[in-house]
Amino acid sequence: MSPLPPNSRTARPPLGVGMVGHSFMGRVHSHAWRSVNAFFDLPLQVDLRVVAGRDAARVGAAADRLGWAESTTDWRELLDRDDIALIDICTQGSVHAEIAVAALEAGKHVLCEKPLANTPAEAEAMARAAADAAERGVLAMVGFNYRRVPALSLARALVAEGRIGTVRHVRARYLQDWIVDPEHPLVWRLVREQAGSGALGDIGAHIIDLAEFLTGDHITGVSAITETFIHKRPLGTAQSGIGAQVADTPSDAEAAAPDASAAGIGTVTVDDAAIFLARTSGGALATFEATRFATGRKNALSIELNGSRGSVAFDFEAMNDLWFHDLDEPAATSGFRRITVTEPTHPYTGAWWPPGHGLGYEHSFTHQARDLIDAIANGTTPRPSFEDGLRVQRVLAAVEASATDNSRWTPVEV
């Protein structure tokens, strides 16, 4: 993208953004919208117009803190605003479909957090709405932010260039521990009606998408087991951890924690951990593990691809590094070597700091915003698309079906 001439910032057409939800993901997305034009020369200037939440005081305070011009307790107001062109959905999955479909039908571009929906049926409706909207020039993208980590973008480029040859193995893990304590409250992420599933959909969706993104192939079948280690938890508000971020969906349909007793105890209705084997359309064997019970692991995402000519390996706990092995190198000096992905020629990094000055988690969301703005300005299909999100949703459904049927091999719906 060529540099803009001096003082061109004021000449850029505005892209009015309205955001629904303002907790964990809402805060991260707000940071991305605020910073993207400061670091990337883009054809549109982001305008943070309105943030929606269900509590007037809390959403008003969030607007002031996060940089939004206005706040509202009714997300539907965003659909009628001519100064809003894009709706950013940062809510729990139970209302993704309702908001996204309504926004697309109203002619608004949509960015929706992952997983796309709580069920394949909802995701299919969203994908249909996105396809219809695309015919009118209205675009939709699902927010799998890890695709925009520079090291993982570089890994995709190496695989696409054939540098590791035919992919034969994929092994992916996403490990957290924020609900190891049995006294951790029954927050919305532990309730199926709101979250859709547990570790499987929340963090497993990320590594499913990454496996398909990096290989360029699709998961065709799975054999899975899932487990809920703690079935009863106290009702209340978490004080720390991911679950401490309460849901900010402005919807009267939010489900309450089921099976609440007078003693303030509720039932966990999602999985705590999921492990599954898979095959890809390219013939690779794959293993996946997603758990919230890996004691000591806070946000440990790792993925490795082994091919006929080499391998790539990534660990988010050292997110600026990519490990690469080239089988064609002489045996005396071959082996995995670390690539520090901070050079100006690496994906995204040239817009930031000098080489060796690493990036963080939040930068992946800024890169996501950058790519979506570029797609909107140029009328190109943003990726991952709602169709990509639907494919992940079908893998999640196949995993759950396999786990409830004694780990039976289960094809993924095409």
Model pLDDT for residues 316-367, shown as the tens digit of each residue? 999 999 999 999 999 999 999 999 999 999 999 999 999 999 999 999 999 9
Domain span at residue 271? 149-382+391-411
Whether residues 27 and 109 share a domain: the answer is yes
How many C-beta atoms lie closer than 10 Å to residue 170's C-beta?
26
Whether residues 60 and 131 share a domain: the answer is yes
Considering 145, 168, 202, which residue would you say is the last residue of a domain? 145
- Identify whether 364 is part of a domain: yes
Whether residues 114 and 165 share a domain: the answer is no
The stretch 279-298 carries a mean pLDDT of 98
288 CB burial (10 A radius; 0-12, 13-18, 19+): buried
User: What is the domain-level CATH number for residue 31?
Assistant: 3.40.50.720
Asked whether residue 251 carries a pLDDT value surpassing 60, the answer given is no
Whether residues 40 and 183 share a domain: the answer is no
- CA atoms of 105 and 158, how far apart (whole Å): 39
Whether residues 51 and 108 share a domain: the answer is yes
Whether residues 157 and 202 share a domain: the answer is yes
Whether residues 196 and 70 share a domain: the answer is no
User: What is the domain-level CATH number for residue 323?
Assistant: 3.30.360.10
Percent of the chain whose predicted confidence (pLDDT) is above 90: 90
Whether residues 302 and 403 share a domain: the answer is yes
Whether residues 194 and 210 share a domain: the answer is yes
Residue-wise pLDDT tens digits, 175-202: 999 999 999 999 999 999 999 999 999 9
Can you give the pTM of this predicted structure?
A: 0.92
* 108 confidence band (pLDDT: 50, 70, 90): very high
Total count of domains within the chain: 2
What is the reported pLDDT for 308?
98
What is the reported pLDDT for 326?
97
Whether residues 17 and 134 share a domain: the answer is yes
Whether residues 48 and 191 share a domain: the answer is no
Whether residues 208 and 292 share a domain: the answer is yes
Asked whether residue 115 carries a pLDDT value surpassing 80, the answer given is yes
What is the reported pLDDT for 11?
81
Asked whether residue 120 carries a pLDDT value surpassing 90, the answer given is yes
- Identify whether 2 is part of a domain: no
Q: Which amino acid type is present at position 110?
A: V
Considering 97, 126, 145, which residue would you say is the last residue of a domain? 145
Asked whether residue 368 carries a pLDDT value surpassing 80, the answer given is yes
- CA atoms of 148 and 367, how far apart (whole Å): 6
Asked whether residue 252 carries a pLDDT value surpassing 80, the answer given is no
Asked whether residue 128 carries a pLDDT value surpassing 80, the answer given is yes
The stretch 12-29 carries a mean pLDDT of 97
Residue-wise pLDDT tens digits, 42-96: 999 999 999 999 999 999 999 999 999 999 999 999 999 999 999 999 999 999 9
* CA 9 to each of CA 13, 29, 49, 69, 279: distance values in angstroms, whole numbers, following the listed order: 9, 21, 18, 19, 48
What is the reported pLDDT for 297?
98
Considering 145, 179, 201, which residue would you say is the last residue of a domain? 145
Residue-wise pLDDT tens digits, 146-165: 999 999 999 999 999 999 99
